[in-house]
Amino acid sequence: MRLGVLDIGSNTGHLLVVDAHGGAAPLPAYSYKEPLRLAEHLDDKGDVSPTGIAALTAFTAQALVVAEEKGCEEMLSFATSAVRDAGNSEQVLSHVENETGVRIAVLPGEDEARLTFLAVRRWFGWSAGRLAVFDIGGGSLEIAAGSDERPDVAWSLPLGAARLARAEFAAQPDEEQLRQIRRRIRADIARDAGHLLRAGTTHRASATSKTFRSLARICGAAPSADGPLVPRTLPLGELRQWIPKLVAMTPEELAALPGVSPSRTHQIVPGALVAEACMDIFDLSELEICPWALREGVILERIDKLSVNDPS
């Protein structure tokens, strides 16, 4: 079955076309994406701006054309933090539906964490034991853990790299302001850390998302050109050494680093502070980078449902 997965993230709109069937890994066939940056197209009231709505509508219309051209039988559409948290979320989605015919579902933060966990569990398998998963998106941080395919703890925090960049890094913070930002991030994560810590020993800890992949690449992980099967990690010690350097760099210097997109240079420092906080608070010396994330989780859940309905 050929599926189109339309992922409206806080940074990027991404249509992933995959060939999928039960018992096999989803096979990417085509990718179409645009940097929507919805987390930064918010007005003072927290509403998505007319510019953001227009960009989202145009992208969705074009994604529908691409999905049809690539032979998709079905398109799964969902939006995450930027649309979920917007004050005018329903108006935005209704406008897109009226203009394109596509109804985009809003994923609650807990579902986002749960589906990302499912993807990471399928990637690493049962040998991972009790698994902890961290995902820094544009608008939110998702944390989940468990010993099965469904996590026994899963939650979402408004600590996405784009959200923090907009709220805390509009101007270059001085040393004291940076310390205060770091303290607030850690307090937010630590507030509910007991959900994960009380549930038992973590045997394997993994991270997924563009932010974690970029940080791992900066810290020496293999480039994406080497393929998804190459093991990649983000070591806490390396990240700690890099953070002061990242803070001191200009946008041009950040853009020259391996794995950093020029459009996301302003998100690297806030993302690094969140990543460091996660590893510190949950006592993790490193995180294994998983190439599968939310989109794959959505696909896998859909395949599972198809297999139940058609066991042959």
Q: Are 162 and 39 in contact (CB under 8 A)?
A: yes
The predicted-structure confidence for 282-312, as pLDDT tens digits, reads as follows 999 999 999 999 999 999 999 998 776 655 5
The predicted-structure confidence for 175-188, as pLDDT tens digits, reads as follows 999 999 999 999 99
The predicted-structure confidence for 45-69, as pLDDT tens digits, reads as follows 999 999 999 999 999 999 999 999 9
The DSSP code sequence of 156-196 is EES--HHHHHHHH-SS---HHHHHHHHHHHHHHHHHTTHHH
The predicted-structure confidence for 132-185, as pLDDT tens digits, reads as follows 999 999 999 999 999 999 999 999 999 999 999 999 998 899 999 999 999 999
**Residue range 228-234: average pLDDT?**
97
Q: What's the CA gap between 156 and 309, in Å, rounded? A: 31
Is the alpha carbon torsion for 226, 236, 109, 147 positive or negative?
positive
Burial, 250: exposed, middle or buried (Cβ in 10 Å; 0-12, 13-18, 19+)? Answer: exposed
Nearest to 125 by CA among 201, 196, 206: 206
Residue 201's pLDDT is what? Answer: 85
Q: What's the CA gap between 96 and 13, in Å, rounded? A: 13
Write out the two tokens for 111. 């579902």
* Mean pLDDT, the chain, integer: 95
The predicted-structure confidence for 117-130, as pLDDT tens digits, reads as follows 999 999 999 999 99
Q: What's the CA gap between 121 and 292, in Å, rounded? A: 9
What does pTM read for this prediction? 0.95
Residue 310's pLDDT is what? Answer: 59
Q: What's the CA gap between 111 and 28, in Å, rounded? A: 23
Residue 274's pLDDT is what? Answer: 98
Neighbouring CB atoms inside 10 A of 133's CB total 29
The predicted-structure confidence for 196-212, as pLDDT tens digits, reads as follows 999 888 999 999 999 99
Q: Could you tell me the pLDDT band of residue 213, with boundaries at 50, 70 and 90?
A: very high
**Residue range 227-232: average pLDDT?**
96
Q: What's the CA gap between 126 and 12, in Å, rounded? A: 31
